[in-house]
Every structure is written in C-alpha cells, then in structure tokens.
Amino acid sequence: MNPRTVWAIARKDILDAIKNRYLLMSMILPVVLSVLFQVVFGDLAGAGTIRVAVYDPGASRLAAQLRAIQGVNVVDVESVEALQEESEDNAFGGIFIPEGFDRDVDLGKQPELTVYLNRGMGSQGLAAFQQILSQQVWSLREDAVPARITFVDTAGQPEPESSDSGVKKEGFRMDAYLLVMFLVMSLTMTGSFVVPLLLVEEKEKHTMEFLLVSPVTPAEITAGKALTGLVYCGLSAVILIVLNRGWTGDWGLTLSALALGAVFLVMVGLLMGSLLRTTMQINTWSTIVMMVLLAPSWLSVIQLPGLLDAVAHIIPTYYLVEVLSHSIAGGAAWPESAAALAVIAACAAAAFALVVGVLRRQET
C-alpha cells in the first residue's frame, strides 16, 4: 500500500466528517452523555448531607477521608450493634472498618469491609453513598484491589454477590463502569455508524466507482477509511478518559484493549459500508449492530443466566468490556487478559479480510 494514498483518503474523510453535522454529533454523543452524567451525578454529595455511621476501632485513614468530604456527615459509633442501629434509623448506611485495616491494605491482603445499607433512604441516596465509598476505597491503592466490600441490609442479611438479576457487588466501581460503558459506546458508534456512512456516501455520490477504477487498490481504500475511524476513536477515547479521570489501573493493558477494540469495530463498520448501498440501510442495520455490540457494556454488572451468558460470550465486545473493566480498576494483568485480547485481535483480522474480499469482488 502507498502511505500517501492512504493518508489522502483518510484526510479527506476526516474533514468530511467534521463538516457533516450528522456524523459529528454521532461521534461526540458519548462525550456529551459523559458530561451530562458528570453534571447530574458527579457531585451528589454536595446536593445534601449524607449521614454515614462508622465503627472504626483502628482509626483508619478511610474514615478520615470520608470526614473530609463536603456533604458527608460521619457519625462514630462504639460497637457493631450500635452501627446496625444507627444505620437502620438515621443514616444512609454504616461501615465496619476492622482494626488493622490500613496495615492490611498496605500489605495487599484485601481486608473485608462490611457495609450496611438503609433501603429506606431511597435508591438515589444509596447510590450516592455507595459511589462515594467506592471512590474512597479505591483511592487507598491504585496498583491493586484495596479491599473487599460486603454489602448487607440493615436487618443484617447479606446481599447476594450474584443472582440471575442482581448486581455484582464485590469490587464494583460506578465510575469505572460508566467510563467503560462510554468508551465502548464511543468506539461502537464511530465504528459501526460513522465509518459505514463514509463509505456509503462515496457510493451515493458515485465517487466509489472512480476510486475503484483508479490506481488506488481496495486495500488502500480500506486502510484510508480505517485510519479515519481510528483517528476519531482515539480522540473520543482520550477525551472520555480525561473527563472521567480514568487514568488509574494498568495503562498499557487499557490502551492495548482500546486499540484492538477500535480496529475491530472500525472493520465492522467498513464491512457494513462495503455491503450496504444507502444511508437508510445504514441507519437501520447500524442501530441493530450497535445494540448488540453495546449490550455487554450495559450488562457487565449483571450476573446473567447460563444461556444468556453463553450468548454474551459470542459477542466480541464482551471481551473488550472484560479487559477494560479490570484494567481500569487495577484488577487485571497481562496473562489473565491475553486470551480476551487474542479474541478481539482475531475478530479484527477476520473482519479486515472480509472487507478487502468484498471490495475486490466489487472491483471485478
């Protein structure tokens, strides 16, 4: 392939996408939604006082961090019984921080935090309490999982760690979940909607025929369109990470997963654009494809039944979500993620081969 030809095609498409309001809005929608979530939910603690009971016999730094948060009222109690009583009557929840908690966190022992939830305070208040607690726990260490959180209701009954319709509680971080969801949304919308529209517009304007009969090869056309999609995927990913302060965890693994995921999704878009002929067809099929590819990011905190879980494993973005969820939270390593990365890479290679094959057939 001629790099100058590839870049010329990409440069033209990059400028065309900027000029097209429809395409531009599709690319920035995940960023807009992220900003909206930041405005609406980013500072729930400031919207009112969140009363939290704490039993902390070891005077941990976690309790000190909670006291320093504006809008959080920490009430110290002297026993587990008092903690349960305060949590049930007056507080959004209660936290039992065992003695030696700081030492165990520093040693990487992942000590257990027992957290009581007062269901009578409403879902929004509980969400704020859980988000604040999660953020503070994860701030204790950035290179490993700091602690295990066990949630129980104020009656003392443990909440199931997983059920057919329950949220996975242990290790859950709302901020990491939202960041992964927005990242996958951005890559998917750019890959499966913006990129195919760029190809279809060539067909509708009858410029694709000129490209195919020119010295430009199908591989160069594919590479140029792919480069356009990758540029926009990279820009949107960087913006989302900065907006959500998502620079924790294993950065090498996160960037590798994003790069492979972007290549795969851009190839999916090129394949769709090669097979479809009109903008209306793109609008219809892209919606279906996006819903399927985005599903793993929406359901990543849900323990799916056996059959649905098996179906989810067929969707390539399942492995992208899996790697990103663990790497951003600091709970993944390269050996454990190698298989998932290999699946994404294999899917990207297969999609690329299909795109080139379709373009060559069209050339003849």
> Residue 159: inside a domain, yes or no?
no
Domain count along the chain: 2
> Residue 315: inside a domain, yes or no?
yes
> Residue 267: inside a domain, yes or no?
yes
With cut-offs at 50, 70 and 90, classify the pLDDT of residue 147. Answer: confident
Q: What are 289's two structure tokens?
A: 């494809």
Chosen domain end from 123, 153, 183: 153
Same domain, 82 and 21: no
Instruction: Give Cα 285 to chain centroid, integer Å.
Output: 23
Same domain, 236 and 326: yes
Q: How large is the average pLDDT for residues 176-186?
A: 87
CA–CA gap between residue 286 and residue 189 (Å, rounded): 9
Q: So what's the pLDDT on residue 156?
A: 45
Q: So what's the pLDDT on residue 3?
A: 80
Same domain, 317 and 184: yes
With cut-offs at 50, 70 and 90, classify the pLDDT of residue 214. Answer: low
> Residue 21: inside a domain, yes or no?
yes
DSSP alpha helices (H): ranges in the chain? 3-19, 21-41, 61-67, 80-89, 101-106, 123-138, 174-189, 195-204, 208-213, 218-243, 251-275, 279-298, 306-312, 317-329, 334-363
Q: So what's the pLDDT on residue 117?
A: 86
Look over the chain and give the mean of its residue pLDDT values, rounded to a whole number. 80
Same domain, 22 and 56: no
Residues forming beta bridges with residue 52, ordered by sequence position: 74, 93
Same domain, 106 and 196: no
Q: Compare 81 and 202 and report the one with higher pLDDT.
A: 81
Q: So what's the pLDDT on residue 40?
A: 64
30-34, 85-89, 126-130, 340-344: least confidently modelled range: 126-130
Q: Is the predicted pLDDT of residue 44 greater than 50, yes or no? A: no
Q: So what's the pLDDT on residue 160?
A: 44
154 in helix, strand or coil?
coil
Most confident of 18-27, 168-177, 286-295: 286-295
CA–CA gap between residue 186 and residue 94 (Å, rounded): 37
Residues 6+ apart with CB under 8 A from 317: 184, 188, 261, 265, 293, 294, 295, 296, 297
Chosen domain end from 118, 153, 188: 153
Q: Would you say the pTM of this structure is higher than 0.85? A: no
Same domain, 142 and 180: no
Q: Indicate the residue type of 216.
A: V
Residues 6+ apart with CB under 8 A from 7: 224, 227
Can you give the residue range of the structural domain that contains 312? Answer: 3-38+174-363
Q: Compare 76 and 24 and report the one with higher pLDDT.
A: 76
Q: How large is the average pLDDT for residues 269-287?
A: 88
Q: So what's the pLDDT on residue 218?
A: 65
Same domain, 203 and 336: yes
CA–CA gap between residue 199 and residue 211 (Å, rounded): 11
Q: So what's the pLDDT on residue 56?
A: 92
Q: How large is the average pLDDT for residues 192-203?
A: 82
Q: How large is the average pLDDT for residues 148-155?
A: 78
